[in-house]
């Protein structure tokens, strides 16, 4: 800025000084050349404008503080910024500032880690207290429900041909998990005075089938399930017991849909609809087909369950009797 001011107003070499000299020349020449009068007016106008301009620039120059130390400080700061951009591989000052803020946040987290850890521990204690309270409520509810459930299951087992069966639900404490603070085991005995043992260790296939049906029957009475699926739950039973299992499933079907996969004619005859599942191999690929049977096909299918591949007249008559009895119910 100072250099610009000098170019305009330096004595002898500045533009204003040169214009002043030019005006002096025109004053001498206008006596000889009338046209010079016009040039003089134009030069004078330029001289006045430039004098005003140089005066304004002079005021600005006086207001500007020349501080070499501050300039060095700014240059050092700029060099530091450029070095940091290269070090952290960022292209702009905005990216560098963003990185600085991110690192500052990480450092703050490290410095406040003790407070954060204390806060998390307090939250954990509060959560454990809430979980323990809910686990206690659940344990109490289980304890209250055990005896009625044992009685219901025992009565159902008697209906299924197990008059001497005993069933007990064992409830033991454990560290609480998502399912509460209890370990639940079903203990069973099929004979009088026999030691109760876990069902999965002592019960036969037929006994497990009957116990599972009883449990599902009780669950159906207390749940909002719209459909229950029994997949060969009648395994290991036959005759009168199979017939009674079918009656229980019919009772369940009064309030919800029951789908039962079975090979027993006594149970198949109790359904309202009969579907046959057929598995075949087509060009090396297994294919499953489900066909809804007509009344005639259903009769023959149940007869085949009774007599095997060679369907006899007696089997057909027996199958018809089963279906008629089911219709009456």
Tens digit of pLDDT for each residue in 68-81?
787 788 888 888 88
pLDDT in tens, 300-320: 999 998 888 788 889 999 999
Q: Is residue 238 part of a domain?
A: no
Residue 256: partners with Cβ closer than 8 Å, 6 or more residues away? 220, 225, 226, 227, 228
Taking the CA atoms of 34, 36, 42 and 48 in sequence, report the sign of the dihedral they define: negative
Q: Is residue 329 part of a domain?
A: yes
DSSP string, 147-210: HHHHHHHHHHHHHTT-TT-EEEEEEEEEEEETTEEEEEEEEEESSTTPPPEEHHHH--HHHHHH
Measured CA to CA, the distance from residue 3 to residue 199 in angstroms comes to: 105
Per-residue pLDDT at 150: 92
Considering 43, 77, 111, which residue would you say is the last residue of a domain?
111
Question: Do residue 55 and residue 106 come from a single domain?
Answer: no
Total domains in the fold of the chain:
3
Q: Is residue 191 part of a domain?
A: no
Question: Do residue 75 and residue 104 come from a single domain?
Answer: yes
- Which residues of the chain carry a pLDDT beneath 70? 1-6, 8-13, 61-67, 327-329
Q: Is residue 306 part of a domain?
A: yes
Torsion of CA 223, 227, 230, 231, to 10 degrees: -130
Helix axes 295-307 and 313-328, enclosed angle (nearest 10): 120
Considering 44, 63, 82, which residue would you say is the last residue of a domain?
63
| Contact between 305 and 263 (Cβ < 8 Å) | yes
Tokens standing for 8?
């305009």
| Contact between 245 and 237 (Cβ < 8 Å) | yes
Q: Is residue 266 part of a domain?
A: no
Hey, what long-range contacts does 145-150 have (CB within 8 A, 24 or more apart)? 146/171, 149/218
Question: Do residue 59 and residue 72 come from a single domain?
Answer: no
Measured CA to CA, the distance from residue 268 to residue 261 in angstroms comes to: 9
Is residue 77 helix, strand or coil? helix
Q: Is residue 9 part of a domain?
A: yes
Phi and psi, residue 169, nearest 5° = -100, 115
Element (H, E) at 258: strand 257-261
Element (H, E) at 307: helix 295-307
Q: Is residue 38 part of a domain?
A: yes
In terms of phi and psi (left: phi > 0; alpha: psi -120 to 50; beta: otherwise), the region of 193 is: left
Which of 190, 191, 224 shows the shortest CA–CA distance to 208?
A: 190
Question: Do residue 323 and residue 279 come from a single domain?
Answer: yes
| Contact between 203 and 190 (Cβ < 8 Å) | yes
Per-residue pLDDT at 276: 92
Domain of residue 322, residue span: 273-329
Per-residue pLDDT at 141: 94
Taking the CA atoms of 304, 309, 313 and 314 in sequence, report the sign of the dihedral they define: negative
Per-residue pLDDT at 48: 85
| Contact between 225 and 246 (Cβ < 8 Å) | no
Question: Do residue 31 and residue 44 come from a single domain?
Answer: yes
DSSP string, 269-305: TT-SS-EEEEEEEETTEEEEEEEEPPHHHHHHHHHHH
Q: Is residue 21 part of a domain?
A: yes
Considering 92, 111, 130, which residue would you say is the last residue of a domain?
111
The greatest distance separating any two alpha carbons of the chain, rounded to the nearest whole angstrom, comes to 154
């Amino acid at each position: 800025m100072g250099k610009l001011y000098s170019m305009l107003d330096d004595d002898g070499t500045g533009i204003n000084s040169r214009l002043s000299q030019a005006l002096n020349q025109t004053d001498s020449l206008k006596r000889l050349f009338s046209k010079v009068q016009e040039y003089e007016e134009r030069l004078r106008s330029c001289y006045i404008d430039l004098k005003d301009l140089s005066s304004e620039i002079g005021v600005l120059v006086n207001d500007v503080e020349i501080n070499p130390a501050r300039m060095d400080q700014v240059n050092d700061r700029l060099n530091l910024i450029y070095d940091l951009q290269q070090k952290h591989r960022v292209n702009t000052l905005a990216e560098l500032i963003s990185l600085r803020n991110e690192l500052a946040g990480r450092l703050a987290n490290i410095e406040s880690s003790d407070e954060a850890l204390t806060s998390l521990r307090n939250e954990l204690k509060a959560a454990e207290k809430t979980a323990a309270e809910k686990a206690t409520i659940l344990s109490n509810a289980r304890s209250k429900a055990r005896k009625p459930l044992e009685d219901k299951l025992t009565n159902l087992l008697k209906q299924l041909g197990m008059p001497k069966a005993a069933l007990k639900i064992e409830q033991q404490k454990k560290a609480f998990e998502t399912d509460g603070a209890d370990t639940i085991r079903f203990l069973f005995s099929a004979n009088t005075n026999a030691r109760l043992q876990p069902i999965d260790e002592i019960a036969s296939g037929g006994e497990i089938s009957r116990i599972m049906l009883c449990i599902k029957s009780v669950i159906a009475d207390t749940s909002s399930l719209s459909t229950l699926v029994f997949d060969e739950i009648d395994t290991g039973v036959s005759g009168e017991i199979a017939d009674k299992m079918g009656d229980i499933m019919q009772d369940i079907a009064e309030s919800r849909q029951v789908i039962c996969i079975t090979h027993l004619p006594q149970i198949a005859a109790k359904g309202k609809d009969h579907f046959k599942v057929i598995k075949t191999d087509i060009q090396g690929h297994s294919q499953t087909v489900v066909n809804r049977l007509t009344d005639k096909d259903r009769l023959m299918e149940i007869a085949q369950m009774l007599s095997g591949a060679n369907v006899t007249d007696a089997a057909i008559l027996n199958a018809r009797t089963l279906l008629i009895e089911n219709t009456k119910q």
